[in-house]
Structure 1
Amino acid sequence: MSTSERLVPLPEVKRFIVDCLMKVGANRGPALEMAELLAAADYRGHYSHGMNRVDRYVNDIQKKIVEPNATPVILQETEATALVDGRNALGATVGNFCMKVAMEKAHKSGVGWVVARGSNHYGIAGWYAMQAMEKGLMGLSFSNASPSMTPTRAKDAAMGANPLAVAAPAKDGDAFVLDMATTAVAVGKVEVQKRKGESIPEGWALDFQGKNTTDPDEALRAGKMLPVGGLETTSGYKGYGLSMAVELFCGILGGALFGPNIGQWFTNTTEANLGQCFIAIDPECFAPGFGGRLSELMNYLRNMEPINPSKPVLVPGDPERIHMKLVDEEGGIRYHENQIKAWMVLAKTLGVNPINVM
């Protein structure tokens, strides 16, 4: 661990988030849902979507952009599908509600497909897909987002980072967990680099002139993230296409805002009305032995000869498992000192107990 990093125990991370959200008006239930989500993101190593975002959720509640204690409702449904109105509740509240409905339908019909409108930023997409996986189901989750991706050949942003997640159970507790943005990286990773006072790699974002930038401040001001693949010459149109596919399942299918119509989370003063999609599939409805075949494939890939012996071949979900093991061994999550300082300021501003570091 570098001298610029400090450890915070996982329970303390959750405590601090709950205190902050309750201080500005959230009831304990929805505050805890958000805390578990954000703490899980950092525990898994997705720092862009964890404590880094606490101030954003606080701001949304304070400005009454979000209804923190609202309860989502089902507008219409069939045996296998449902359309949900999130009623502008916190993203975790909407997401947890929808995936629960999807899982119930999957257990009865083999598949549950739930689309929500009227939602808010819901953190890591994998949080919801893994809920299904832990029940022996395949889980998928998608969300649209504020315009931050510059479509291939375009000068300005028009699509969101539009994350997607797929989680599936294998044998003996093993699992496949893909959790990714359709931009080269999530905007939150640029925010983390800014907090650390460090540059970003080329290929993440463009400046106002449409050129690659390594300055996180310039990248955030311009708001022009590159899609997965980067520029057209390196197949960035594939990430752009994935972003549009996610939008089909979310804003378009759910009747929420979509594409360039979504307001910027940083500066928005009205309801976000995001669209999200949650799918649960029972693998037992298909060929028997799903988990065994998945394990066989993953273990084959892991045992392939690597180019660099010190960097073995991994499958989606392995980096997160490695990070969680490290957190467990060290007894806390590593945070950069600049992030700790920002939370100390937030604690003072809100009048809550500051976060305790090890």
Structure 2
Amino acid sequence: MKMVFRWYGEGNDSVTLQQIIQIPGVEGIAWSLHDELPGDEWPLEKIQALQEQVAPYGLHLDVVESVNIHEDIKLGLPTRDGYIENYKRTLEKLATVGVKTICYNFMPVFDWVRTELFRELEDGSTALFFEKSRVDQMDPLELVRKIAINPDYSMPGWEPERLAHLSASFEAYREVTEADLWENLRYFLEAIIPTAERLDIKMAIHPDDPPYSIFGLPRIITTRDNIRRLLTLVDNPYNCVTLCSGSLSARPDNDIAAMVREFGDRIPFAHIRNIRLYDNGDFIETSHRAQDGTVDICDIVAAYHEQGYTGYARPDHGRHIWDEECRPGYGLYDRAMGIMYLWGIWDSLQRQSIGRHGA
């Protein structure tokens, strides 16, 4: 298992590279060019500038999270071919700095959705929170109109300056079904995977978060059956999944450890995090410790260990603790503790394995 740490870049992240290299076992960053819009071809000079910035710290750039997909590709519009060509050219450039895995998603309009960024937990820390009934009862277009009048209605990601974009996006997806989205994903993968294979870059789709339809929008990477369908959609070892335990566990019927055991050779990148899922469908993100949430982190790490996992992994969203001011979910302290918890499980499994084999 190769540990990486998501980093948003100098000026965009409260965490520094100097702090990251002090976390035991971290060897690279999961990164992106966050000022590049979906569909843009990434400039080589920006990629190389980041490489030069990171190199003195001994961290690699093997994992990109994410190269975002333009909505025209998801919608299957005639303009998608131009954006796919931009994507291929971006892959060509990323290969020059040693990138091995691209994490991306195929979620319409949004990637992750939360209703609160700083919900307080019992110990006074705060974390990302999702209130299912609030989302279920929303008419998104009516909400857009309300936000235009009173910004206090806004949810994270629904800032007033994005309203025109949101309204147009919801309208564009009004007639798009899950079957349409599957077909558009197939079209994208059939175009991209040959390039990815030639460049030795694995395309690893991130599950939908939360893993079910919201606001009437189709979502398709949500269950074990759907991941199985994805991997056969273009049956190639470079068509992969970023298995996110937190995202998928918002459905109680998802067994993450079983997915690791079935799809292990197609998981080049693992997001390992915990949530506490309530009976009404609400969930809040917790520490990585298994006892603090609903997700059996110990069994998930054991499943990776059984596979002899050599892919990339990172702690995912963390709590905001010790008065840290940081990006929601992406502080230093709780994610660093999460890494040490994961290493503790892994090292214990390693020692048990050595003992069994008498080495």
Smaller-chain TM-score range? under 0.3
TM-score normalised by L of structure 2 = 0.24
If asked which structure has higher relative contact order (CA below 8 Å, sep 6+), I would say 1
